[in-house]
Amino acid sequence: MTTLAPEHPTLDAGALHALLQATHGDPFAILGLHAWGARQVVRVFRPDAESVRILPAEKLSKAARWKPVELSKTEQSGLFEILLENLTAPLRYLVEVTYKSGEVSAPFQDPYTFERVFSGFDAHLFAEGQHWNLYERMGAHLMQLEGVSGTVFQVWAPNAKRVSVVGDFNGWDGRIYPLRKLVECGVWELFIPGIGAGAHYKFEVLNAHGQVVLKSDPFAFFSQNGLQTASLVYDLHQFGWSDEAWMEERAKKEWHRSPVAVYEVHLSSWRRKLEDGGRALTYIELAHQLIPYIKDMGYTHLELLPIAEHPFEGSWGYQITGYFAPTSRHGTPDDFRYFVNFAHQNGIGIILDWVPGHFPKDIHGLSDFDGTKLYEHADPRQGEHCDWGTLIFNFGRNEIRNFLIANALFWLEQYHIDGLRVDAVASMLYLDYSRKPGEWVPNNHGGRENLEAIHFLKRFNEVCYSRFPGIMTIAEESTAWPGVSRPSHLGGLGFGFKWNMGWMHDFLHYMALEPVHRRFHQGEITFSLLYAFHEHFMLVFSHDEVVHGKGSMLNKMPGDPWQKFANLRLLYAWMYAHPGKKLLFMGGEFGQWSEWNHNKSLDWHLLDSPQHDGLRRLVQHLNWLYKNEPALYELDDSYAGFEWIDFHDADHSVVAFLRRSAGGDVMVFVVNATPVPRMGYRIGVSSLGFYSEILNTDAETYGGSNVGNHGGVWADNHAWQGRAHSLVLHLPPLGVVGLRWEAPKLDSVPTTI
């Protein structure tokens, strides 16, 4: 029969002191069940307890049966222990705590009796930077271990002296649940029975300098936002997806040969619930308001400014502290999954802005995580963005590249995200980005290229595309770096698309000119065709163009209100006619007068005005036209899909060009960038037939003056501009006309030709 000795052994004074001061780096060496000579000792550390006793964990045979026994308290320190004798089998026990308030806990399994969860193979993959499912290990995970339900907590802090998990389950006391350190990889872990979904927690880190800091979980699936920064235990295995048809079709998609029209949105300010204090909409509300709107507008994709958890609203999500948690501003992670699922059911893809280039200095975040420069570069010449007040990831470290690539895969896997637009790629590629001489460190070859970041970007693209066919990665890259959207095995960075920042700057500068001066700047709007097919480009008018005093899209246009609208209609039509995929930031589609303000809703009341609603209808028509005319998207990356008809008429600020599809469809576009109608304007074409006018930005329905071509024109045999045939057109003021070539039929050709 088992006997329980009331006396307890004396713990080493140094070990006891370290435990009491929460500086002991190996709590498993003290707490739990341990051999003591021929006997065994059970130790429980609960400074919040009045008394502690242990109970049998299971029904025992009569011979092994024992009664609950109270542990002795060591010198009022919070350490409780008991010495056990004559054990014939391993002891299985539960702990019951009577708190100083008199409350008694439900019996629970001792956390310090479980084996490690983070395996040696996990450690090996993490050390070499290729643990692509790292999010299935690190962080807080609900699980059953040895038949016991609870949560395992794991965090990487190799230079910490001690790490504890604290939360609403232990009074935020770092002495109660210190973690075990796995010395071969620097990961700390602890399985705590009984902790379920919804528990609030942080990691209390005794860092390399002996300072105690509270850190949010870098791998948390759910977090508080703003001033409250606790992480929350969350179960990611309960949501039921119903987007199988979309996902199967996406896997077969070739986006370079498909229409991609993107609506860029900041979720908190797209629309607000004014009748409820002007609060932001929830993910569920956004699903049923935003998705139908962009579906009706004809967009193919929705791009979201970063929705990963961030404390500061004014960063727009670009300064992230919770890389694995969709912001709780709009609801739970499963609410966001509902939003994505609903978008897919309605034929809309979701692109996330992803920020691997930098992170903020917030004390609860990644900075100085274990008292050392763990996630960031130690050298400030490589580790800090002075312009943004943020820190730069150390791309040369295997574990950091693993953290970031696993994060990208997490969004693609767990949230069915269709694309990642990578922010500020130029800042990652160049060591001297926004730095003066002497403020940066050359690479090993003496150059300015960040070789470690280049390796990271290539690997990121390789892994994402290999694991998730049909997704897209998009680079916001503002320089002339070669091969951004070329596969890495051909020397490129491996992105699917690149934002065409040069086109955007040239066209906005041109359009901001008074029309009388545009004749002197014809080269600005033809230059983009010299490089348009060097990359897979996306043409963008993004959020960056409508902030910081740059004015709204409508207010960038010159002239009186009528001319401003006409100019903007011209610009959007020109954008859709130009080779490249399309992106427009919210509010631009209906001509918001004011700059974007992240703290308020868009000015939806403007749609009561015929001019604003007319602009919206034009964008809607452009999306419809773009998706239904293969000539506008099939050969976006080839000279075979574009041909100048004439770009020499600078005196009249007129250009004409055509677009072709792989199947021989032809569309002709003529732009008149002055407010003067051009009646009887002749352009050359190569083929006879009828040219249907399927686009006229001056149509009355869009708010224009209705100068046009009455549905289309026939080509005649008048040779012009080096072509055998020509069209005589009426060009509207500040307008674009688009015509589709209809192959001639013998019985339909006018006898006058």
Pair (478, 402) in one structural domain:
yes
Integer Cα distance of 213 and 364 in angstroms:
8
Query: Going along 252-371, which residue ranges are E strands?
Result: 261-265, 272-273, 279-280, 301-304, 308-309, 322-326, 349-354
Check 303, 309, 476, 698 and give the catalytic one.
476
Q: Using the 8-state DSSP alphabet, how is residue 233 labeled?
A: -
Both 512 and 654 in one domain: the answer is no
Q: Is 159 in a helix, a strand, or coil?
A: coil
448 and 595 co-located in one domain? yes
How buried is residue 553: exposed, middle or buried, by Cβ count under 10 Å (0-12/13-18/19+)? buried
Question: Are residue 134 and residue 78 in the same domain, yes or no?
Answer: no
Strand, coil or helix: 64: coil
Asked if residue 138 is part of any domain, the answer here is yes
Which tens digits make up the pLDDT trace of 166-197?
999 999 999 999 999 999 999 999 999 999 99
How far, in Å, CA of 253 to CA of 262, rounded? 16
* Whole-number Å distance between alpha carbons of 621 and 297: 8
Label residue 752 by pLDDT band (50, 70, 90): very low
- For residues 571 and 734, is the Cβ–Cβ distance under 8 A? no
CB 216 within 8 A of CB 204: no
Looking at the structure, do residues 316 and 275 belong to the same domain, yes or no? yes
Amino acid making up residue 358: H
- Print the domain residue range for 696: 631-748
Domain count across the chain: 4
Last residue of a domain, one of 232, 260, 290: 232
Catalytic residue among 399, 423, 589, 637: 423
User: How far is residue 179's CA from residue 299's CA, in Å, rounded to a whole number?
Assistant: 49
| Among candidate residues 81, 110, 139, the one where a domain is terminated | 110
pLDDT above 90 (res 747) = no
On whether both 222 and 264 belong to a single domain, the answer is: no
Q: Is the pLDDT of residue 110 over 80?
A: yes
Is 476 considered catalytic here?
A: yes
* Residue 26 confidence class, pLDDT cut points 50, 70, 90: confident
Q: Could you tell me the pLDDT band of residue 84, with boundaries at 50, 70 and 90?
A: confident
CA-nearest of 357, 403, 377 to 156 is: 403
Cα of first residue to Cα of last residue in the chain, in angstroms, is 114
Amino acid 753: pLDDT: 45
pLDDT at residue 380, as a whole number:
87
**578-636 confidence digits (pLDDT tens):** 999 999 999 999 999 999 999 999 999 999 999 999 999 999 999 999 999 999 999 99
- Are residues 470 and 590 both part of a single domain? yes
CATH number at residue 389: 3.20.20.80
The predicted structure's pLDDT at residue 89: 59
Is the domain of 403 the same as that of 503? yes
The pLDDT of residue 477 is above 70: yes
58 is catalytic: no
* 291/362 same-domain check: yes
Q: Among residues 738, 270, 301, 307, which one has the least CA distance to residue 540?
A: 301
**pLDDT per residue over 630-680, tens digit each?**
999 999 999 999 999 999 999 999 999 999 999 999 999 999 999 999 999
Find tokens 């807080």 and name the residue: 140
Helix, strand, coil content of the chain in percent (nearest 5): 30, 25, 45
Closest among 137, 133, 167 to 152, alpha carbons compared: 137
Co-location of 146 and 273 in the same domain: no
How does residue 326 score in pLDDT terms, banded at 50, 70 and 90?
Answer: very high
CATH of the domain at 33: 2.60.40.10
Is residue 101 domain-resident?
yes
**Same domain as 377, residue 290:** yes
The pTM of the full predicted model, rounded to 2 decimals, is 0.95
- The residue from 57, 86, 110 where one domain ends is 110
Q: Are residues 478 and 364 in the same domain?
A: yes
pLDDT, one tens digit per residue, over 495-515 is 999 999 999 999 999 999 999
pLDDT over 80 (residue 38): no
